[in-house]
């Protein structure tokens, strides 16, 4: 029996903001003395096991396997797409997907909760926004089980379209991607393959302003040693402020708050530590690291950077344990009576970090940092060599974006 292909496309964008004020009056809580108020970011008991979370595995594998100096991934986008696929997977195929993606028994409900949370946040405005969209594109005359499409409509608000797989549909799909990433990712698909029967797409867009923005006047060219060992001059933002801080034998971390309820972790591997080693350490000990963060007086130097990144997640997910879904033994009887397999999982992500904030289009944590009115010393943190980052939602375990900057001069 010749299997037909299920193609998964993930598009995610995070982009810079143009303001730090919210027109509706929503604010990120800070104490009167300008320090970070940490009572709203505390660590909840995680339902997960002590295993390394999926976002950490994805980043670590990408750092090891991908030759690119700069990497941008959206674990949340990947989890949404694979959760939709899992609704049609059966037997060992479903077991592998759920185990690797760490879904447990409530993936649909957790995704639905996240979508509803976004919908009820009335304070999103032109300066702070997050939106997530899902779609399923079915080739004309390909029989798809109604339960599969109805489940994904119910939990993921998935748009389901049946169409001829031709140039016109390619344009429609690319327009859908462009619209749902606010133009940051204008195209994801060039053409269909003969075996393609279904495309499943998740789009994630994120934009937020820094709670404490950088001043453009303080941005100057500074030295950065790239992953290849070259010294280059790159525009570098500087700011002194009270921020959450952590340091151990492997990493130094500074956390900057994003309005209204997100944070961005900047993780500098200590001298001699590789980015993939730092990623593994961060993910493995995430809860412990967050619990031990403290508010410090930070003198921060951080390069501006933009990353436009595309990669196949298929080899990484296969290495992590999803085997059957990609081959002849795939079991997707919940999607169709015809034999299906996943031909590829492509993620395209964009991120821009500047003085105003972050815009991106692609562990239950909360920080319980010690709050002091006068930090005892200034911590000088200069991100002048390769580093990793993560955008997380406060009071939850969602990692929206994560990546590596090996050369800020490369887009």
Residue 307's CB is within 10 A of a number of other CB atoms, namely 25
Do the domain assignments include residue 411? no
Percent of the chain with pLDDT over 70: 84
Angle at 31 between CA 28 and CA 33, to 5 degrees: 130
Report how many domains make up the chain.
Answer: 1
pLDDT of residue 361: 73
Output helix, strand, coil percentages for the chain, rounded to the nearest 5: 25, 35, 40
Q: How far apart are CA 380 and CA 24, in angstroms?
A: 35
Q: How far apart are CA 250 and CA 270, in angstroms?
A: 5
Predicted TM-score (pTM) of the model is 0.85
Tell me what pLDDT residue 2 has: 55
Domain with 241, as residue range(s), is 4-20+29-405
CA–CA distance, 206 with 157 (Å, rounded to integer):
18
295 is a domain residue: yes
The CATH number of residue 122's host domain is: 3.30.497.10
Q: How many residues does the chain have?
A: 411
Q: pLDDT tens digits for 276-327?
A: 899 989 888 888 888 899 999 999 999 999 999 888 899 999 999 999 999 8
CB-CB contact of 70 with 403 (8 Å): yes
What was the pLDDT predicted at 126? 59
What pLDDT does residue 270 have?
94
> Could you give the CA distance from residue 115 to residue 157 in angstroms, rounded to a whole number?
9
- CA 15 to chain centroid, in Å, comes to 12
Q: Do 61 and 71 touch, CB atoms closer than 8 A?
A: no
Q: What is the pLDDT along the chain (411 residues), one digit of tens a residue?
A: 556 778 777 787 776 543 333 332 222 233 333 334 343 333 333 333 346 788 888 998 998 877 778 999 999 999 999 999 999 999 999 999 999 999 987 889 989 988 888 776 654 555 678 888 999 999 999 999 999 999 999 999 999 999 999 999 999 999 999 999 989 889 888 988 888 899 999 999 888 889 889 999 999 999 999 988 999 999 999 999 999 999 999 999 999 998 878 899 999 999 999 998 999 898 888 888 888 999 999 999 999 999 998 888 999 999 999 999 998 899 999 999 998 989 989 999 999 999 888 877 762 122 222 333 344 578 899 999 999 999 988 877 578 999 999 999 988
Q: What is the pLDDT of residue 51?
A: 62
pLDDT for 27 equals: 27
Q: What are 220's strand-pairing partners?
A: 236
User: Is residue 280 one of the residues assigned to a domain?
Assistant: yes
> Is the Cα dihedral 281, 283, 289, 294 positive or negative?
positive
- What was the pLDDT predicted at 114? 87
């Amino acid at each position: 029996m010749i299997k037909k292909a299920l193609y998964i496309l993930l598009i995610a964008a995070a982009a810079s903001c143009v303001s730090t004020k919210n027109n509706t009056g929503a604010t990120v809580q800070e104490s009167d003395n300008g320090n970070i108020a940490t009572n709203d970011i505390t660590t909840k008991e995680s339902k997960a096991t002590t295993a390394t979370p999926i976002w950490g595995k994805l980043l670590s594998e990408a750092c090891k396997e991908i030759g690119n100096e700069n990497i941008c991934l959206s674990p949340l986008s990947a989890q949404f797409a694979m959760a939709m696929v899992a609704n049609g997977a059966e037997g060992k195929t479903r077991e592998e997907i759920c185990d690797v993606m760490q879904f447990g028994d409530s993936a649909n409900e957790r995704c639905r909760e996240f979508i509803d949370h976004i919908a009820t946040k009335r304070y999103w405005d032109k300066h702070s926004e997050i939106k997530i969209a899902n779609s399923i594109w079915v080739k004309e005359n390909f029989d798809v089980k109604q339960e599969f499409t109805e489940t994904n409509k119910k939990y993921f608000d998935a748009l389901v379209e049946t169409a001829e797989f031709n140039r016109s549909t390619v344009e429609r799909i690319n327009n859908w991607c462009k619209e749902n990433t606010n133009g940051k990712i204008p195209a994801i698909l060039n053409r269909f393959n003969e075996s393609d029967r279904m495309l499943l797409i998740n789009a994630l867009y994120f934009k937020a302003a820094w709670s404490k923005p950088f001043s453009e006047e303080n941005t100057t060219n500074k030295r950065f040693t790239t992953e290849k060992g070259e010294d280059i001059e790159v525009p570098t933002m500087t700011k002194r402020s009270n921020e959450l801080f952590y340091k151990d034998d492997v990493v130094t971390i500074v956390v900057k708050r994003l309005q209204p309820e997100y944070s961005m972790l900047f993780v500098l591997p200590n001298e001699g530590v590789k980015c993939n080693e730092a990623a593994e350490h961060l993910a493995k000990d995430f809860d412990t690291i967050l619990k031990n963060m403290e508010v410090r007086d930070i003198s921060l130097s951080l390069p501006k950077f933009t990353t436009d990144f595309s990669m196949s997640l298929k080899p990484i997910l296969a290495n992590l344990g999803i085997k059957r879904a990609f081959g002849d033994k795939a079991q997707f009887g919940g999607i169709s009576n015809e034999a299906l397999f996943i031909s590829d999982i492509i993620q395209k992500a964009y991120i821009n970090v500047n003085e105003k904030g972050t815009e991106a289009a692609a562990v239950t944590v909360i920080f319980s940092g010690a709050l002091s009115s006068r930090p005892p010393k200034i911590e000088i943190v200069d991100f002048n060599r390769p580093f990793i980052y993560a955008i997380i939602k406060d009071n939850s375990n969602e990692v929206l974006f994560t990546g590596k900057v090996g050369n800020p001069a490369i887009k």
